Amino acid sequence: MKRIEIFIENIILASRWLLVVFYLGLAVALAIYAFSFAGKLIDFVAKVTVLDETDTILKMLGLIDAALVASLVVMVIISGYENFVSRFDEAEEVHWLGTIDAGSLKIKVASTIVAISSIHLLQVFLNLTQFSTEQLTWFTVIHLAFVFSALFLAYIDKLMVKEKAGKQSPSL
């Protein structure tokens, strides 16, 4: 019976390698997104002399937004692989790998989503005439939902850190 248990545990443990397919897929998607970013950049460079200030800011915000999304994907790929599949052999070269656990990854992802949402909201506010009051209200409500979610995740993480610290401190 013990051999069956060990066999099942080995299968379950080995199943984490299925996640590699997802991380590789995200890497391919990131490469495709890089081509999209290059197209946006080329378009911006080609039109920079004829754009007014608002359009220039909107184009730059679009580039910043793309960079944040790309950073989010990289963060998920690297820290997800490190946390759930296998440690990197060359971890010394990427010193922050060991500091991102599943909890801090959630907070970083939520913070990045809030930043992306903020950029989108700023783009909307720079184009106020193109949106109705109802649309502006919904954009703001959705952004605030992201903000509150990120704050709630950070609060939960803070509680977990306190709980872990309380369990590790010696009792007198």
What integer pLDDT is reported at residue 169 of this predicted model? 56
**What does the alpha-carbon distance between residue 111 and residue 76 come to, in Å, rounded to a whole number?**
13
Give the pLDDT of residue 109. 82
The pLDDT assigned to 159 comes to: 81
Confidence (pLDDT) at 35: 96
In the chain (172 residues long), the average pLDDT of successive 10-residue segments reads 89 91 96 96 93 87 90 87 78 59 76 88 86 91 92 84 68 50
In sequence order, the 6+-apart residues with CB closer than 8 A to the CB of 11 are: none
Contacts of 56 (CB under 8 A, 6+ apart): 48
